[in-house]
Structure 1
Amino acid sequence: MYLVALGWLYVVLMMAVAEAMAPSGTVLGAVFTFLLYGVLPLSIVLYLMGTPARRQARRRAEALAEPDRGSLPSGDPVAPERKEP
């Protein structure tokens, strides 16, 4: 996943360099090309692709935070007092 991201950033960087070096291009146009074609879409895609890993990590952390109830029955630890008739 990260290899594709690095490849995409390389392509976008080359597009930005070509924009800056073009006779009618500007450095500002190159910056916007890099941000709008590279950083913004890539950050969205990486966030969406990382969702399952974040969800799994959250579930694992919640499982570790919960006390182990074991096989003991739940309820009041002290038995209620029984009244004789």
Structure 2
Amino acid sequence: MYLVAIAWFYVALLMAAAEATSTQGSLLGACITFVLYGLLPISIVLYVMGARYRGGRSRRTPASAQRDGGDHPPAQPLPPVREEP
């Protein structure tokens, strides 16, 4: 995932350098190119891709621990019910 982000930044940096060194370009255009083609899209992609790492811990806790705090030992299980033959 990070290899794609690094490659994307590299290409955006080269696009900004081409914009800055062009006879028709400017440094402001190079900065805007780098921000709009590099920083903004890859930051959105990395944010969305990292969502499972940010919110995953709360979903992995047992439901009973979330419901009542989880600071007591688990209750004794009910004995199995014997069925008539």
Q: What is the TM-score of this pair, normalised by structure 1?
A: 0.72
Residue deviations 1:43-73, cap 9 Å, x none? 111111111111213335x668842541259
Question: Whole-Å Cα distance in 2 between the matches of residues 34 and 57 of structure 1?
Answer: 35
Question: Whole-Å Cα distance in 2 between the matches of residues 24 and 2 of structure 1?
Answer: 33
Q: Please, what is the CA RMSD of the aligned residues?
A: 2.3
Partner residue, 2:20: 20
Question: Whole-Å Cα distance in 2 between the matches of residues 58 and 46 of structure 1?
Answer: 20
Question: Whole-Å Cα distance in 2 between the matches of residues 44 and 10 of structure 1?
Answer: 17
Percent identity, aligned pairs only, is 51
Would you identify which runs of 4 or more consecutive aligned residues in structure 1 move more than 6 Å? Answer: none
Question: Whole-Å Cα distance in 2 between the matches of residues 37 and 3 of structure 1?
Answer: 17
Partner residue, 1:67: 70
Structure 2, unmatched stretches of 5+, are 78-85
Structure 1, unmatched stretches of 5+, are 74-85
Question: Whole-Å Cα distance in 2 between the matches of residues 23 and 58 of structure 1?
Answer: 54
Q: Which has the larger radius of gyration?
A: 1
Question: Whole-Å Cα distance in 2 between the matches of residues 36 and 28 of structure 1?
Answer: 12
Partner residue, 1:33: 33
Question: Whole-Å Cα distance in 1 between the matches of residues 58 and 28 of structure 2?
Answer: 41
Return the letter of the residue paired with 1:14.
L
Q: What is the TM-score of this pair, normalised by structure 2?
A: 0.72
Partner residue, 1:6: 6
